[in-house]
Structure 1
Amino acid sequence: MMNRRFSFVWATVFLFALIGLVQLYSWANAYFLEKVQVSARSTLNLIAESVDQAVGRYAPIPELVARDQNLRQVLRGEAESGYEPFVNEKLRQIAISIDASEVYVMDTTGLTVAASNYRDDDSFLGRNFAFRPYFKKAVTGLNTSFHALGTTSGERGFFFASPVVDGIDIIGVLAVKITVDHIEKDWRGTDHEILLTDQNRVVFLSSREDFTFRTVAPLLASARKEIVETQQYPMKRVVSMGLSADIISNEPVEIMMSKDLSSERYLASNLPLELSGWHAIAFTPLRPVRTQAAWTVAVAFLALLATCLAAMLILQRRANIIRTFRFEQEQRALLEARVVERTADLDAANASLRDEVAERRHAEEQLRKSQKELIQAGKLAALGKMSAAISHEINQPLTAIKSYAVNASTFLARSRFEDAKFNVDNISKMSDRMTEISRHLRNFARQPGDSVKPVNIIDVIEETIGLVGPEFRAQNARITFEPREGPVWALGGKLRLQQVLVNIMTNALEAMLGQSDIVVECDLALEQDVVKIMVRDHGPGVPKEDLEQVFDAFYTTKEAGSGMGLGMSISQNIVTDFGGSLGVENHPNGGAVFTVTLHRHDERLSEGVNS
């Protein structure tokens, strides 16, 4: 019983839906039909206005041009020899200025005696147009117009003509022709097929070339005879379009046309022009209209179908929700019990993880502290190695100071004040030298900070050279470095970078001990984003098999007791902390080259930091 009632309800819904869709299609078809009619009327109004304006613009021009005295002289035969070319050129200039195709003058027999197209191969000069209606009417004294396919140019156009009058006599006719191709060109971008028919219902202008010269209604015998006599159109093209109804009507008409033109159905709308008997016609294809209506119904049907499916799904979902709700209550109780159990396990795991994290942090802190102590120990060890050379560097000025002091005292006793002043000045210079040595030692021995900031690489290199200078001079060695103009900024730490360079330079010195000429070359290279400091010695270089081990901890090539092999490892860690790199390679000409690569810093920002 329930199934039968359910089926009856759905059958009723389906019947009403079908009736609604049929009514919707009728309404949508009428709606879209009205839209295309409005569009067609708007298009026809614009076309009618433009054509009427064009014709109205050129209609008075022949009468004005015909008043020219030069034309009367040519038509009377009174012009001097060679005068005709002047008149032809004048007509050409007039045609250009009024944007006309041709301007030409005929005598009373219809023979063209002057023309603006005199330069062209198909010039009107010498051609007779007495058969044209515009000539026949104008030679009787009327201002007239005509439309036709040009017998000479093969171009369609409007012809406007006026008589050339001398006193009370008509001595010729002046005609102006304008072509119509440019008018049609703008019609081809619309949603309609546009036609312009004359008083004989012949299509003179059209958005489709195959419509031109076809007729929209049966052609009368008198009209056919007139077309033949005036050579207005090519008669082989003047055939009916085979329309299924008369389209010259107050209301739009649904029509079909000859199969050779189109198999579609069209809605024909027309609008009369100011030109007597002329009509502007728009053919609108009905297939897009009906397709839009069908799509509207299809969308509505899909929406209705979706609504029905949604209703079914909602009902089904409601039943499922009730079943699911009961099942979820049972599962929720079970889940809560499991959550309590898992929470206890997680709390224990978190506690263990926190202890492990704390241990790791403590270990990292101890490692950092050890590294700092190791770095400081390395610096103090380097100072210890250089102590003998530094002591010699300090003893020399002390001995000189003592000698200069004794001499100054003697000179003062003898009133030789200039000599005494010279000795005192030398004592001051020796004191400055000792102060500079101690400043380098104090700065190098100071604990460095952890921060990485812009440092002037030139200053770092020069202070490092000053620091290791005593040890180099003690070995009759020298360091070459040509500083660049202005500061060079890179990211690092001044004191830690000095320690790296001290390690590299003293290692380079030790690699060449025993050679007659000990030279260490220091150079600086700037690239787009980095600064490179290269230190090269002229010793035996690093064995190829040891190149990858140079920066390993406890690696050394020195004799036992001469070092622990931590200098290069510490140096690499320091440069890595700066975000840079430390590398080594053998020079092609002998010796080893150590390269410190640091990130370059913007000099303008560094100036602000420095200030």
Structure 2
Amino acid sequence: MLPSRTFLVLAVFVCGVCSALYLAFFSYYKTEEIQAAKGRLALYKSTLESEIERISYFPYVLSKDDHVIAGVLGQDLQALNERLAEFARRSQLDAIYLLNTDGVTIATSNYDQENSYLHNNYGFRPYFKQAMEGKGGEFYGIGVTTSLPGLFISAPVYAPNGKIAGVIAMKLNLHRLEEIWMEAGENVLLSNGDGIVLLSSNPKWRYKALFDIPPQRREEIKAVRQFDKIPLVKLNWSRTNEDQASVNKVPYLLVQEELHARQWTLYFFASERSIQVQAWSHLITLTVVASLIFAAWQFKKTRRIGAALRESQADSADLREANRLLAVEIEDRKQAERRLQRTQDELARTSRLAALGQLSVSVTHELGQPIAAMKNYLTAAEISQKPPKASLLTQMSGLVTRMENITKQLRFFSRPGSKEFEPVNLQDVLKGSEELLAVNLNSGKVQYSSDYPDHPVWVRGNRLRLEQVLTNVMRNAMDAMTDEEDCILEVKISQQNDHGVVWVSDSGPGIGQSTIRDLEEPFYTTRASGEGMGLGLAISTEIIKEHGGTIHAENRHPKGAVFMIEIPLEKEATHA
């Protein structure tokens, strides 16, 4: 019961999918066919209008011809017949003829033919009446003399006195357009304002009425003998929607174009059969391809299931062995994880001890600068025979305060935190460092010079930390020149783009093959053993990074090194 129900559901699903695909294909090709039909119909419309416009001005031009005017006055009509015959031949017109005010033909291009218009009266035709009213006339109908349809175009002919003396008319046969439609194998028809088919690629549709014609209008058509004795029966057709219609119960796609100047309508009927064939062919092709893919997938699936079953039966012993090995591996992994945990705990304790040792060395190194300065001040006071000045006590008090602040500042190395920043003038930072290093700079061994602009260079930062950085860089430069004969230390402050820049250059041995990355590493130093721990620049780098700046170092030509410190300028405050 269940397999049958599943098969039924699957069959319904497949049918639904196929129906949806067919409708999708049909809709797509229908749209394509309609677009193609519109293109063809636009071409036919252009051809029809061009054919009519080609000769639409001939009657007016001929009405101004001296021979035509002379002819309407009864002069030299035979010469005019020959002249009109030559014009008709060159213009590919059925006939060109001249009528007097009574509607009688007095000259015609077919004067020498059996069905000549000569002496026939066409005063009942609308195109004659329109021309006699002083207007251009146009009328499509079946000729009463030749029984051949055509488009009649007329114009009034004025005598020298300015009065209408006759009418010049010509007949254009549009049957050549019907032949083009037939050769293309397409269903095209042209109807007038009454819905009567004037031209058609299907002769059975010609002179059929698309709509009901009121009795009064039928009498008017009969009076002007527009379609002679043709009954004008209604065509067996109907429109199902905007772009579909049926003729004699045969469905078509319908496209139409209006020729507003003449109240004509051009219809194009495209067969739906070609659309159905394309939709079915694509659906069948898609179904066959899908069936083949499904069959191949089922075949591969069956083979995979069979192979898996055989492998499962053959590898049952291997599976049990693998389970045993897996249990052993799990136990080994657990032991390894326990050993790893113990190692990580030991490493953490070692890291904390290393950090503690590094911190103690850092404190010693950073406090060494103010302590050395204090020692220099005390030595100078002992050597001097004069009692110490009050300024010396003030300077030593300032050094003690600086040492206290340094111990507070070093806490950022283990617990970085935000510090209050304020506008700082780099010239003030340099002056603070010069005061701290005054004993070394004034010893006479170092040739020291500084260069900075007349205006302040304001950056945003912590003045104490920036003094600490600049003091460390300048002290390192002086330490590097200990064994040099000429010890030159230069400090320059400038403003470049959005940064304040401090250059510190010396005449020492340079940094060799080291890079700034090497110098930033804690415990890395280019000095001899016992002359430094290599922590000063590492701490200075961290301080400058806190300020959003950078430190660069490079060798100086011919000797020495240059350190460049860049710090972003203060943007918000404006200082004098």
TM-score (norm 2): 0.50
Q: Secondary structure at the match of 1:236?
A: coil
Alignment partners' CA distance in 2, 1:27 and 1:190: 29
Unaligned runs of 5+ in 1: 326-611
**Aligned pair partner of 1:68 in 44, 62, 65:** 65
* Structure 2 residue 168 is matched with structure 1 residue 174: yes
1:318 positional shift: 5.2
Match for residue 216 of structure 1?
210
1:121-172 Cα deviation digits (max 9, x unpaired): 1111111111110011112211111111112222221111011110221111
Alignment partners' CA distance in 1, 2:255 and 2:11: 40
Alignment partners' CA distance in 1, 2:296 and 2:109: 78
Match for residue 290 of structure 2?
304
* Structure 2 residue 13 is matched with structure 1 residue 36: no
Match for residue 258 of structure 2?
272
Match for residue 472 of structure 1?
none
Alignment partners' CA distance in 2, 1:246 and 1:31: 19
Match for residue 415 of structure 2?
none
Alignment partners' CA distance in 2, 1:206 and 1:200: 16
Q: How does 1:591-610 map to 2 (within 5 A)?
A: none
* Structure 2 residue 102 is matched with structure 1 residue 109: yes
TM-score (norm 1): 0.47
Q: Secondary structure at the match of 2:134?
A: coil
Match for residue 82 of structure 2?
89
Q: How does 1:169-208 map to 2 (within 5 A)?
A: 169-190=163-184, 192-208=186-202
Match for residue 148 of structure 2?
155
Q: Aligned letter for 2:51?
A: A
- State, as a whole percentage, how many aligned pairs show the same letter: 24
Alignment partners' CA distance in 1, 2:210 and 2:292: 49
Unaligned runs of 5+ in 2: 312-576
Match for residue 111 of structure 2?
118
Q: How does 1:148-547 map to 2 (within 5 A)?
A: 148-166=141-159, 167-190=161-184, 192-245=186-239, 251-252=242-243, 254-257=244-247, 262-316=248-302
Alignment partners' CA distance in 2, 1:323 and 1:118: 102
Match for residue 120 of structure 2?
127
**Alignment RMSD, CA only?**
2.6
Q: Aligned letter for 1:242?
A: N
Alignment partners' CA distance in 1, 2:214 and 2:263: 14
1:23 positional shift: 0.9
1:201 positional shift: 0.7
1:38 positional shift: 0.6
Alignment partners' CA distance in 2, 1:275 and 1:67: 25
> Does the 8 Å CA contact 2:144/2:228 hold for their aligned counterparts?
no
Aligned CA distance change for structure 1 residues 204 and 324 (closer, same or farther; 3 Å): farther
1:113 positional shift: 0.7
1:159-188 Cα deviation digits (max 9, x unpaired): 110111102211111001110111112112
Match for residue 98 of structure 1?
91
Alignment partners' CA distance in 2, 1:182 and 1:191: 15
> Does the 8 Å CA contact 1:193/1:284 hold for their aligned counterparts?
yes
1:358-383 Cα deviation digits (max 9, x unpaired): xxxxxxxxxxxxxxxxxxxxxxxxxx
Q: Secondary structure at the match of 2:171?
A: strand
**Aligned pair partner of 1:139 in 132, 135, 150:** 132
1:90 positional shift: 0.4
> Does the 8 Å CA contact 2:237/2:249 hold for their aligned counterparts?
no
Alignment partners' CA distance in 2, 1:125 and 1:206: 31
1:12-48 Cα deviation digits (max 9, x unpaired): 5444322211111111111111111111111111111
Alignment partners' CA distance in 1, 2:16 and 2:54: 57
> Does the 8 Å CA contact 2:207/2:230 hold for their aligned counterparts?
no
1:10 positional shift: 5.7
Alignment partners' CA distance in 2, 1:110 and 1:310: 85
Match for residue 588 of structure 1?
none
Q: Aligned letter for 1:84?
A: L
Q: Secondary structure at the match of 1:245?
A: strand
Aligned CA distance change for structure 1 residues 21 and 160 (closer, same or farther; 3 Å): same
Q: Secondary structure at the match of 2:69?
A: helix
Aligned CA distance change for structure 1 residues 73 and 190 (closer, same or farther; 3 Å): closer
1:270-318 Cα deviation digits (max 9, x unpaired): 1111333211111112222223222222222222322333233334555
Alignment partners' CA distance in 1, 2:186 and 2:32: 13
Q: Secondary structure at the match of 1:194?
A: strand
Alignment partners' CA distance in 1, 2:108 and 2:240: 43
Q: Secondary structure at the match of 1:28?
A: helix
